[in-house]
Amino acid sequence: MNKLPLKGLIVLEFSQYLSGPSAGLRLADLGARVIKIERPKGGDACRSLSIKNLWADDSSLLFHTINRNKESFAADLKDPDDLLLIKRLIEEADVVTHNFRPGVMEKVGLDYASVQEINPRIIYAEITGFGKNGPWNHHPGQDLLLQSLTGLTFTTANKDDNPTPFGLSIGDTICGEQMVQGILAALIRRQKTGKGALIELSLMESLLDFQFELLTTYYASGKLPERSRISNGNPLLGAPYGIYPTADGHIAIAMVNILRLATIIECSALAQFKQEDTFIYRDEIKEVLAAHLLQQPSEHWLQKLKAEDIWSMEVLNWQQLTKEEAYKCLQMEQTIKASNGNQITTTRCPIRMNGQRLFSDKPAPTLGEHNESICREMGLVSIPDIQQ
C-alpha cells in the first residue's frame, strides 16, 4: 500500500526476545517506523538465540523473523552521552516499548514518569512476566515457565499424559498482540485528548486471559476441568470433539450430533449412545469412534463427513499444507534478503487492508546499522560507537 495507517508514527523499541519485539513487528507492518534501541555489545539477546543452529547472517534466523522491517540504534544506557541521545529520540517519538524486569528502566532513568517529563504525549507500553508488584514480580518471565504456572499445561494432551506445553511461545505471542491493542487504543485516545498513556501487560495476565473460558467454568463450579482420556480436544466439550487416527493418518472432528455421526459413518456401536451422553460417557464414545475410524483411510471418512456438512478436516503437517491450493492462494509467504545476501522466506502480516495484502521485504537490521542516519536526521551531535 502507498500509505499504511501508522505511517509517520515513531516507535522506540527497548524490547528483546519475543513478546515486545513481536508487537513492534506488527506496528512496523502497519506502517510505523520502529527503531530498536540495542546494547552496543551483542544487541538484542535474540540475535544469538538460534533454533536448530539456523543463522541468516551474523544474527539468528529467529531474530530475523521477529525484527524485519525495523531500524537499529545501538546505545549504552549506562553511558551519560548515549543516554542523552536516547532522550533526544524520545522527544521525537510517539511510542516507547520495553519488556525488562521491574526496576530496570527506573535504574537508567527511563521509567514512564521520567519519559513523560521528556514527552508528555508519549505512549509508554511495558511487558513484565508477572506484573510489577506481588511476590513473583522478579521471577524470570519466560514463556514455558508461565505456561506451567498458569495451568495452561493441564489443558493440552490426554488425561493420563504429563502436563504438556504448547509447541510454541504462545504467551509471548499473545502478550505482544495485546500490547499492540493497548497502544492503538491509547493512540486513539491521544488523538481525542492530547494525552499520553502508560500501557502495562504481563505474560501471566495474558495467559490467564487466554484461558478465560476454562477459568470462568472453574470459578463457577470450583472443579478442575477434566481432559478426555483419549483424543482430548477441549476439556469443556463432549464427544466426539478431538483428533482421531485413521488407517493412513489422522482427522479432526468438531461438534456434531452423535447419532447423526453414527449413521453417516455406519457405526452401530456408536448409535447405542444418546446425545445427552456425549460428556458423561465422553471417553467411552471416543474409544468406540477411534476403533471404527482405524478401519479406513482418512479420505474415505472425509468424503462421507463432508458430504453431510460435518465439521471435519484432515490433520496436515507443513509439508502437506504448503502443497495445498487453499494455502497457496493466501500468499502468506514473503522473501527478505539478509545483510550477507541470504534469502529468507518468512510469513507476511496476516492483515489485509482494502483488499491489499501487507508485504515488506525489509530485513532485520544489523546491530547499530542506523545510528549514523538517525543522528543526522534528528540533528544529534554524536554517533555512539558500535562494539561487537
Torsion sign over Cα 318, 319, 320, 321: positive
Catalytic residue among 29, 82, 111, 172: 172
d(CA 381, CA 388): 22
How far from each other are the two terminal CA atoms of the chain, in whole angstroms? Answer: 36
Grid cell in block for residue 45: 539477546
| Half-sphere exposure in the Cβ direction for 44 (13 Å, CA) | 36
**Catalytic: 94?**
no
In 3D, which of 122, 103, 111 has the Cα closest to residue 189?
Answer: 122
* Cell numbers 508477572: residue: 130
Contacts (Cβ under 8 Å, ≥6 apart) of 149: 204
C-alpha cell at 3: 500509505
Residue 60 per-residue DSSP state: B
Q: Give residue for cell 507492518.
A: 29
For residues 265 and 301, the answer to whether their CB atoms sit within 8 Å is yes
* Closest among 214, 228, 225 to 158, alpha carbons compared: 228
DSSP annotation of 159 reads: T
For 263, phi and psi rounded to 5 degrees? Answer: -70, -45
Which residue type occupies 96? V
Contact between 227 and 162 under an 8 Å Cβ cutoff? The reply is no
C-alpha cell recorded at residue 211: 484461558
Catalytic residues: 172
